[in-house]
Amino acid sequence: MIAIADESSVLVPRSRNGVLSGPARVLRFFRRWPVVSSTVLVVLVVTAVFAPLVAPHDPLEHDLKKRNTPPAFVAGGTWEHPLGTDILGRDLLSRMIYGARVSLTVASVGLVTGLLIGTTLGLWAGWFGGVIDEVITRAVDIWAGIPFIMLALAIAVVLGTSLTTITILLVMVSWNSAIRQVRAQVFILRDREYVASAKISGASTARLLFVHMLPGVLHLVVVVATFRIGGLILTESFLSFLGAGIPPPTPSWGNMVADGRNYLRTAWWLAVFPGVAIFMVSASLVFLGDWLRDFTDPRLRQLAG
Beta partners for residue 48, in sequence order: none
pLDDT tens for the chain, residues 1 to 305: 344 444 444 444 554 555 555 676 777 766 777 788 888 888 888 888 888 898 889 998 888 888 888 998 888 888 999 999 998 899 999 999 998 888 888 888 888 898 899 999 999 999 988 899 999 999 998 988 888 888 888 888 888 888 888 888 888 888 888 898 899 889 888 888 888 888 888 888 888 888 888 888 888 888 888 778 777 877 887 887 777 778 878 888 888 888 888 888 888 999 899 888 888 888 888 888 778 777 766 555 544 45
- Residue among 118, 125, 152, 132 nearest 224 (CA): 118
Concatenated DSSP letters of 239-258: HHHHTSSSPTTS--HHHHHH
Angstrom distances, CA of residue 255 to CA of 77, 129, 205, 226: 23, 44, 46, 24
* Element (DSSP H or E) covering residue 274: helix 269-296
Q: What per-residue confidence (pLDDT) applies to 94?
A: 92
Alpha carbons 144 and 147: distance in angstroms, whole number: 8
Q: What per-residue confidence (pLDDT) applies to 92?
A: 92
Q: What per-residue confidence (pLDDT) applies to 298?
A: 54
- Residue among 235, 217, 234 nearest 115 (CA): 217
Topology of domain 36-304, CATH: MetI-like fold (1.10.3720)
Q: What per-residue confidence (pLDDT) applies to 247?
A: 81
Q: Is the peptide bond before 13 cis (omega within 30 degrees of 0)?
A: no
Alpha carbons 107 and 109: distance in angstroms, whole number: 6
- Domain residues of the chain, as ranges? 2-32, 36-304
Alpha carbons 237 and 244: distance in angstroms, whole number: 10
Q: How many CB atoms lie within 10 A of CB 290?
A: 16
Q: How many CB atoms lie within 10 A of CB 132?
A: 14
DSSP state of 150: H
Q: What per-residue confidence (pLDDT) applies to 301?
A: 52
Residue 77 identity: G
Q: What per-residue confidence (pLDDT) applies to 25?
A: 73
